[in-house]
Each structure stands twice: as structure tokens, then as C-alpha cells.
Chain A
Amino acid sequence: DGGITQSPKYLFRKEGQNVTLSCEQNLNHDAMYWYRQDPGQGLRLIYYSQIVNDFQKGDIAEGYSVSREKKESFPLTVTSAQKNPTAFYLCASSILPGVGNSPLHFGNGTRLTVT
């Protein structure tokens, strides 16, 4: 079955440590996205990528970094510079925007807790 796999489901880290969240898709989608979800704030865009080796900052990119070395993979690193990293992180993919209807397909998220 095609879909998006995020791992791990739960992640615990000490403050000051960098942590990388995995996102893999087998939908052959060109575009991939990372969102952060906090209670009462909806989904906020962190980074997005439309093509391998290229990505753009979203609304809340500070303290995060990404890479897109393969079409299927879009890992997110939460660095120690992110002041409030505890959140639910969602990865999504779609066909390129503007190419017909391009709904987002989401993974099941990674809940990161930093203490």
C-alpha cells in the first residue's frame, strides 16, 4: 500500500540535543512538507520541498533543518536552537501544486517530547 511512514511514533530527548525525524513516502510524490501541530494552533508549515536537493522555509523554520537527497525521503532535524520543540510533527506529500487537484497525504506523525 502506498503511503507516508514517519518514525518513530514517540521520541524523547534531553534539552540541548539535536534530533532527526524520519519521513519516507512511496507515493511517487514530488512535493513534501513538514508541519508542526500544537493544541489550538492548527498546523504550521516548517519546511517544504518540490524537488530533490531543493527546499524552502515555511512560516516557522527557525530552529529546524531539512534535507531532500532522495525523492522518497524528507528528514527533519530539530536543533537545540528550537526554543520550544515539544510538539506533534506531521510529514505530508503531494503531487506538485498546480497540477490538477493535489491534496496533501499525511503520515501518522511523530510526537516529540524534550525535557
Chain B
Amino acid sequence: QQQVKQSPQSLIVQKGGISIINCAYENTAFDYFPWYQQFPGKGPALLIAIRPDVSEKKEGRFTISFNKSAKQFSLHIMDSQPGDSATYFCAASNTGSARQLTFGSGTQLTVLP
């Protein structure tokens, strides 16, 4: 029940296109869903996060869509840029859990110039 499934494993998008990464979870106790961005040789950094009381959250070109009934959430990157090329991880946690986050397997995004 701790698993978070992420797809696709890799994604290639043209500059200016929309990148979409999907995640699904099983544990209904999860109530915090962040996305992390990781550049090669660096640690992941928090990009955007959502709680299940809203269905969508937007920050600049990045949007999280959340479907509580389907237990799915997704990251949309609008107007994708070559600088967005990185590995993206979804994650989920139960607020107050000492274990913190359960991570998806990651999506390697390449934005072609």
C-alpha cells in the first residue's frame, strides 16, 4: 500500500510542447503529493506540491492535477523548455508520518530545442 507508480519512465518533448507525467497511489491515507525535480549530479528539489482538498494547483508553467477518486495525480509542464530537461519524481506521504515520502520511480524528461 506504500507504492507510488509513475509513468512514463522517459519522455521526449519538443520545445514549446506540453510534458505530462502521471502517478498513481494506493494508500488512501496519503494526503500530501509533491513533485521533485532533479538535475544530473544534484539532489532533488521540491517543484510543486498539492493536498487532496484541491483538484489543481498551478505555479507558473507547472500544474498538478489531482483526482482523489481515481487515486491519481499528474504534472503538466506547459511551454516546455530545454532547461526543463531533468528527472521528475512524484511522491506521496501521510502528514505526520515519520517515514516522510514514498517516491515514484522517476521520469527522465528531455526537451528538444
Contacts and interface: CB of A to CB of B under 8 A. Distances in A.
Most buried by B among A31, A48, A94, A106: A106
B89 A43 contact: yes
Interface residues of B, number: 25
Q: Could you tell me the dominant secondary structure of chain B's interface residues?
A: loop
Contacts of A106: 43-45
Most buried by A among B9, B42, B98, B100: B100
A103 B34 contact: yes
Q: Could you say which interface size class chain A belongs to? A: 20 to 34
Most buried by A among B42, B43, B46, B93: B43
A26 interface: no
A43 B103 contact: yes
A61 to B, nearest CB: 12
Nearest to A43: B103
Interface of A: 4, 31, 33, 35, 40-45, 48, 50, 56, 58, 90, 92, 94, 97-98, 101-104, 106-109
Interface of B: 6, 9, 32, 34, 36, 41-46, 49, 89, 93, 95-101, 103-106
9 contacts: A33-B100, A40-B9, A42-B106, A48-B99, A58-B99, A98-B97, A103-B46, A103-B49, A104-B46
